[in-house]
Chains A and B, each alone.
Chain A
Amino acid sequence: MTSQDYAGMFEPFTGTPGDLIPLLQCVQAADGYISEEATARVARFLRVSENVVFGVASFYSQFRFQAPGRHSVKVCLGTACHVRGGEILSRMLERDLGISAGETTPDRRYDLQRVACLGCCALAPVIQVDSDIYSQVTVIRLHEILEAYA
């Protein structure tokens, strides 16, 4: 993003301390993650140090610090999914994609996240790819599900 983009994004905010989290949410919605540059710009806008901005951002699980892949794979590890085998799905996804949760594949095709509950516990175990939710997933179906996303 250019400095003009940032300026436009920051415009509705008044620069009070309470704006920090909503600002970071805006940045992430636009960029997909919180880059070092974004951290610096938010810090300058709020007149606080970059440490403060990164300290707050890294506290919350919503914020990511790596550029996302073209497709985002989320594996649910809520309690209901856990007792129905979500952990095995997570392990196999990490193995198949060759990355750990929170990372993006080198070809930027997928990124992988572990989330605590997508809220469809009755359909466990579930994974989400982009906005599609797959319910009662088995290890055998994983490959086929992922292949549909180029």
Chain B
Amino acid sequence: MHSFTATQEAARQKWSALQSSPIPTIYVGTASCGRAAGAMKVLEAIGGHLAEQRLEANLVHVGCIGLCYLEPLVDIITPGRPRITYSNVTPEKVESILASHLGNDEPLMRCALAHHDTDHAQGNGYTKKLPRFVDLPMLKPQVRVVLRNCGLIDPEDIDHYLANDGYIGLMNALGRSPEDVIAEVGEAGVRGRGGAGFPTAKKWEICRAAQSETKYFICNADEGDPGAFMNRSLLEGDPHAVLEGMVIAAYAIGASQGYIYIRAEYPLAIARLKIALEQMRAYGLLGHDIQGSGFSFDITIKEGAGAFVCGEETALIASIEGQRGMPRSRPPFPAIAGLHGKPTIINNVETLGTMPHVLRHGASWYRQLGTPGNYGTKTFSLVGKVRRAGLIEVPLGTPLRKIIFDIGGGTLKPFKAVQTGGPSGGCLSEEFLDTPMDYESLGAAGSIMGSGGLIVMDQDTCVVDLARYFLNFTQHESCGKCSPCRVGTRHLVEILERITNGQGETEDLTKLHDLGEAIKRCSLCGLGQTAPNPVLTTLRYFRAEYLLHVTEKHCPACVCRELIEYRVVPGKCTGCQRCVAVCPTGAITGPRAEPHNLDASLCIKCRACYEICRFDAIAGDAIVIGSGRKGTHEPTA
């Protein structure tokens, strides 16, 4: 039996020893996004430099802090000095950073991003004019609750989590009755973060009341929205937060066995979860008689094999049972009859990530965040044509404008639209920028909160093409069980393809609308009921753009392939022949030093000539992409 207080005390000592280490400590963000940006090569370069210079330092892997556009990120602390963050670090920069920072005790200003000195907001002599990390424009408007540890602690070390108040929420829960725990969560007003926003405590109550010897608890980590990575980042950066929430939830409903249903495409998150589970067992936080409370619970990882529809509860259960992931009609709800016919609760990763906080600080603390009826914070993956892309967390009810412009830094070209809720959500135009991000306001606008994907679009994004893209996705992911979804989405895609190919007719817009409404009303599960949202919202807010495609055969964003053409601007073309060299079909010809010809009948619109010309210092922009007779237009990369 491990005494929790002793374990906690040991962890705190270990943590503070690291903070006041007599040797430097180097933190490298090695979550998936950091790795994609080259963090592992940076790590290798750091190791190489340390060995070569015979320097000693603690190397700590941390998760994603959410500043994806600045990856790879490296933090360095030297004894007695504040922590300094370096951004966009490359293996080439490592040597000069370390030589200056470790060798001369001077942070390398030209690569440094921010300092973490809590005492000196403006920075003292050492940090010079660097901004404070939490004051960075992308971070300052955020309220990080669920993500508070991400990027700061080692996700593979349970002691780091414990030292930062980890598992206190669980200990509080175990000291109370399950009914009490449910009441606290109900009082806090937590709503499920998976998409629909159903009150979590209500679901738990039903399951608690169900009479059964066996109950199951499932954590839904099958993040299927293409363009969303909130859950992955949390699991990679702070797995214990989710696991603690899971044990609290299991205790509340009386479950004995838990599953984490996670995408097989998230190997790093799976590996870190496995490590975390072992550590929990070793500390008596999982398994038989958890912390002497008499409550026993264990967790198994189930790797999902890739099906968007498995985000739907009954489909997910079918998948765990080894069948095709198809939903069934409800009732009975899974809380009464779920996995293997037993009462089952399924909660999203982020919902679980909030539980430790609710149980640690109490419902009234939680209710200070957000707006009435929409309490707490929400994480979003902010991507697309936004300057500062990354993972963010804000109180519910934060206006879109604040998220896109204050946190995201706005768009390079004029803002056009934002898609909330992924493929099941809607595309909102500029007039909705002051809409608060809460479940009801988004619903009223025809969109949904969804799990938290936010795709920002500027004038170079074609909303008709985007609607086609989403419908293509949902049509492909439709399980085929009910015909409104199976047949209906296919027809929507066909009509949208016709329009983007320049063969659309005005009646097609009415057909899209009527068919979309019918699919929403008649489909069996959430996938079909929300699939038409991207079409219906773009039709509602961007009708003029659809009409241009249909009547003028013109794509104002110059995206729809059949409606655009590549042209050489004779006055600008210097005849350098670089485009001739990259053209795969020989569509561009012309002698050196004279404006080239582009034969539209041979052009396959691959963009190669456009790209090579754009980056050419001499000619530059001599190739343009145009659509219809409305003139030319140059898209951003």
**Chain A residues in the interface with B (C-beta under 8 A):** 16-22, 24-25, 55-56, 59-63, 77-80, 82-85, 88, 91-92, 95-96, 115-124, 126, 133, 135-136, 138-140
Roughly how many angstroms separate A63 CA and B322 CA in the complex, as a whole number? 14
Roughly how many angstroms separate A62 CA and B305 CA in the complex, as a whole number? 5
Q: Which of B71, B325, B390, B469 contacts A79 (CB 8 A)?
A: B469
- Flag B578-609 by CB within 8 Å of A: 1 or 0 each: 00001010000000000000000000111110
A57's closest neighbor in chain B, by CB?
Answer: B305
Q: Which of B227, B308, B389, B637 contacts A85 (CB 8 A)?
A: B637
Contact status A61-B305, CB under 8 Å: yes
Say whether B319 faces chain A, with CB atoms less than 8 Å apart. yes
Contacts of B385 in A (CB 8 A): 83-84
A–B pairs, 11, beta carbons within 8 Å: A56-B323, A78-B226, A79-B419, A82-B466, A84-B385, A119-B33, A120-B36, A122-B71, A133-B36, A138-B607, A139-B608
Say whether B448 faces chain A, with CB atoms less than 8 Å apart. no
Contact status A80-B637, CB under 8 Å: no
Q: Among residues 281 to 336 in chain B, which have CB atoms less than 8 Å away from a CB atom of chain A?
A: 302-308, 319-325
B36's closest neighbor in chain A, by CB?
Answer: A120
Q: In the assembled complex, how far is the CB of residue B63 from the closest CB belonging to chain A, in whole angstroms?
A: 13
Q: In the assembled complex, how far is the CB of residue B464 from the closest CB belonging to chain A, in whole angstroms?
A: 13
Contact status B466-A83, CB under 8 Å: yes
B232's closest neighbor in chain A, by CB?
Answer: A119
Contacts of B32 in A (CB 8 A): 119-120
**Chain B residues in the interface with A (C-beta under 8 A):** 32-33, 35-37, 68-69, 71, 224-229, 232, 264-266, 302-308, 319-325, 381, 383-385, 389-390, 419, 422-423, 453, 455, 457, 461, 466, 469-470, 473, 479, 582, 584, 604-608, 611-612, 637
Contact status A121-B637, CB under 8 Å: no
B323's closest neighbor in chain A, by CB?
Answer: A56
Contact status A83-B321, CB under 8 Å: no
Given A25-B264, A82-B469; A140-B612 close (CB under 8 Å): yes
Contact status B611-A140, CB under 8 Å: yes
Given A79-B383, A121-B381, A122-B71; A139-B305 close (CB under 8 Å): no
Contacts of A140 in B (CB 8 A): 582, 608, 611-612
Contact status B306-A61, CB under 8 Å: yes
Roughly how many angstroms separate A17 CA and B308 CA in the complex, as a whole number? 22
Roughly how many angstroms separate A59 CA and B255 CA in the complex, as a whole number? 30
Contact status A80-B68, CB under 8 Å: no
Contacts of A20 in B (CB 8 A): 322
Contacts of B461 in A (CB 8 A): 83
Given A18-B320, A21-B322; A123-B36 close (CB under 8 Å): yes
Contact status A122-B69, CB under 8 Å: yes
Q: Given known contacts A96-B584, A133-B35, what 7 new A-B pairs fall within 8 Å (CB)?
A: A22-B303, A79-B453, A92-B606, A120-B33, A135-B37, A136-B637, A138-B637
